[in-house]
Amino acid sequence: MELMTSIRNFRIPKSYTPPLLITGILFAAHISFGILDSYYNLITAVVSAYVVELILHRLVMGKWRNMSSAYISGISVGILIRSTLLWPYALCAMISVASKYVLRYKDRHIWNPSNFGIVVMIVLASDYMAILSIQWGNNMWAMLLIWIIGSISIAKIKRFHICATYVVSFLALAVVRSWFTGDPYFAEIAPLTGPMYQLFVFFMITDPKTTVDNRKGQYLVAFSIAFVEMFFRLNEAVYAPFYALFLVGPIAMVVDLWLKDTKQQENKVLARE
């Protein structure tokens, strides 16, 4: 009886939803389609992220920390990086995690770690690697299933509106891009049906640590990412969404933190008066 009650009351902590979701997507995709070139690449990325996180957090905070963030960074790098060599996986994971401890404003890190690492690698190490940019299989139902499960999971942590805003903005702005380029509308929206975007939408733009806190701001930031991405796309940047988030994300965070800080100062002054 007690056991049944325990089982009924068992809830997965919300902070574990994203790691579980990304693991589920990864293994479903790998078992179905063999999306990983090798397990060594994934293990290298995850272990590198873990080691850097453990050491740096211990040094800075003086204690050990929950590793779910490092896990997501490592596994995102393991999935998204494509290289015949091992070191790009390790280096990208290490840069991603280390960026959290160096690039900070008002004691918060302002870049999504794996977004930062991936953009640095695209810009500086493109001779040795690329980013996942093709379909996992060609089954429409598999794709829809990932979108549905992903959406439900993200809704549970109250971030679905961010994904929805971005997707709707992307689809709408695709009309503009199609008009500019003369390419078919379906060609413009095609990338959204691929796994790179599934990972980007569910795990990068929703990262609680690097998104603004208020709901209106989140709508605005999600739209801004799609809007800035449009310009990168019009300039034929294959990895436009990563570049857009790389620019918009930290700016939004800095503005948000600055506004909060200013408001707090004003409140303090008012309280004193």
Partner 1 sequence: MSGKNNKIKTGITVFFIILIAIPLGMNISSWWESKYPVEQNREESLDRYGFFLEEISESAGINFVHQGPVLDNQLDHILPQVGSMGASVSVVDYNKDGYQDIYVTNSNIASKNSLFKNLADGTFEDVADELGLADANKAGAGVSMGAVWGDMNNNGYEDLFLYKWGKPELFRNEEGKGFTRITEKSGLPGWVNANTAIWVDYNGNGLLDLFIGGFYPETIDLWNLKTTKIMPESYEYARNGGRNFLLENMGNGRFEDVTEKSGLTGNRWTLAAAAADLNGSGYPDLMLANDYGIDEIYLNNDGASFESAAGETGIGFVPKSGMSVAFGDVMNQGSLAIYITNISEPGFLVQGNNLWVPSGRSAGENLKYRNLAGNMGIALGDWAYGGQFGDLNNNGSQDLYVANGYVSSEDRSEYWYDFSKVAAGNISIIEDARNWPAMNGRSFSGYQQNKIWINDGAGKYREVSSSVGGALGLDSRAVAYADLWNRGVLDVIVASQGGPLRVYKNTVAPGYEWVSFKLTGTESNRSAIGAQVKLFWNGRQQLQVVTGGSGFSAQNQLPLHFGLGKNPEIEKVEIQWPSGKVQELDTPEPNMVHTIKEP
Torsion angle (degrees, nearest 10) of CA 237, 239, 244, 245: -170
| Cβ-based nearer residue to partner 1, 129 or 221 | 129
- HSE-CB at 159 with a 13 A cutoff on CA atoms is 24
Q: Is residue 82 involved in binding partner 1 (CB under 8 A)?
A: yes
- Min dist CB 131 to partner 1, Å, is 9
Can residue 182 be called a binding residue for partner 1 (CB under 8 A)? yes
Q: How many residues bind partner 1 (CB under 8 A)?
A: 55
Give DSSP secondary structure letters for 17-85. HHHHHHHHHHHHHHHHH---S-HHHHHHHHHHHHHHHHHHHHHHHSS----HHHHHHHHHHHHHEE-SS
Is 42 a binding residue for partner 1 by CB under 8 A? The answer is: no
CA distance 33 to 194: 13
CB of 170 to partner 1, least distance (A): 12
28 lies in the binding site for partner 1 (CB under 8 A): no
Binding to partner 1 by CB under 8 A, coded x per residue (else -) over 45-74, reads -----------x--xx--------------
Stretch that binds partner 1, among 71-79, 163-171, 194-202, 263-271 (CB under 8 A): 194-202
* Contact predicate 166/222, CB 8 Å: yes
Binding of partner 1 at residue 180 (CB under 8 A)? no
Residue 125 burial (CB count, 10 A): 17
Of residues 116-145, which lie at the interface with partner 1 (CB under 8 A)?
120-122, 124-130, 133-140, 143
Give the residues lining the site for partner 1 (CB under 8 A): 33-34, 36-38, 56, 59-60, 82-85, 91, 94-95, 98-99, 101-102, 120-122, 124-130, 133-140, 143, 181-184, 186-191, 193-194, 196-197, 236-238
